[in-house]
Amino acid sequence: MIIELIGLENMPLIKKGDDLSQLILDSVQVQGCDLKEADILVIAETVVSKSEGNCIELDSLKPSLEAEELARKTGKDASLMEAILKHSQEIVKVGKDFIVTETEQGFVCANAGIDESNIKKGCATPLPHNPDQSAAHIRKKIESKLLQKIGVIISDTQGRPFREGAVGVAVGSSGIKTLWDLTGKRDLYGQKLQTTKIAIADELAASASLLMGQANEGIPVVIIRGYDNFDILKDPDANAQQLLRPKKYDVFR
């Protein structure tokens, strides 16, 4: 199996109201790498939020007493703390230089997924309000024009318990399963797998982040081409919520 990663290098800076689907199609055409059946688009959540007008002007927020207290504990800006509170349904852990919360979408991550990079100073982008819905909207618009089936993953960069560094993960998905259940399949020795589930959308998002980078790379969209399991995994009803572990099974909370 050979898998290609193709970064779209001529995407413009995204602003509120931009048609992200059309901008992707335009960029693909200019770059000469036309989308094909079974391609998977991985899109950085920041550009999705920008196109949807989901941005925060931090200076416009009046920090609450709770935000002020969190700012003292973390050493972070009180306005940022207020934004984090507004986009969280639970504070999971607080310490010097960090705050981990459960976002309104159900993801457990630092800063409620709010990103201050790749946006003008004094502003920040929270996660898209409904990343799965955003992914479905982009996929359906592109498929209607190409008449070909594709997958769309919206990715974010997040840390992981017990490991240093951040990796790309899926926060939204459409057209392709996010969780691949291999229970019952046989291993190399013929033994049946008992509980093996693969977070396939996270693996795809992580591979795309190799090209997206975290600084000034300017590649917010990556095409994954040649993934042979697309036909097995394609699913118009799949979504990233399937990756979330129910709280009652979360042994760390």
Residue 234 DSSP SS3? strand
- Give this prediction's pTM: 0.93
pLDDT in tens, 56-79: 999 999 999 999 999 999 999 999
Residue ranges covered by each domain of the chain? 4-53+128-244, 56-123
pLDDT in tens, 143-173: 999 999 999 999 999 988 888 999 999 999 9
Q: For domain 4-53+128-244, say whether CATH 3.30.1330.100 is its number.
A: yes
Distance CA 78, CA 68 (A): 5
Site of tokens 């207020």: 82
Q: Say yes or no to pLDDT of 192 above 90.
A: no
Q: Is 75 exposed, middle or buried (0-12, 13-18, 19+ CB in 10 A)?
A: exposed
pLDDT in tens, 87-142: 999 999 999 999 999 999 999 999 999 988 878 888 999 999 999 999 999 999 99
pLDDT class for 235, splitting at 50, 70, 90?
very high
pLDDT in tens, 24-54: 999 999 999 999 999 999 999 999 999 999 9
Predicted pLDDT of residue 216: 59
| Fold of the domain spanning 56-123 | CofE-like fold (3.90.1660)
Tell me the mean pLDDT in the region 195-217: 87
Residue 153 DSSP SS3? strand
Question: What's the start-to-end Cα distance of the chain, in Å?
Answer: 40
Predicted pLDDT of residue 215: 56
Distance CA 198, CA 181 (A): 6
Distances, alpha carbon 157 to alpha carbons 28, 52, 212, in Å: 24, 19, 10
Compute the Cα dihedral for 33, 35, 37, 42 and give only its sign: positive
Predicted pLDDT of residue 81: 96
Residue whose C-alpha is closest to residue 206's, from 135, 157, 150: 157
Backbone phi and psi for residue 93, each to the nearest 5 degrees, phi listed first: -155, 140
Contact 68, 84 (CB under 8 A): no
Tell me the mean pLDDT in the region 177-187: 83
Tell me the mean pLDDT in the region 209-215: 81
Distance CA 9, CA 124 (A): 23
Site of tokens 């009652």: 248
Residue 222 DSSP SS3? strand
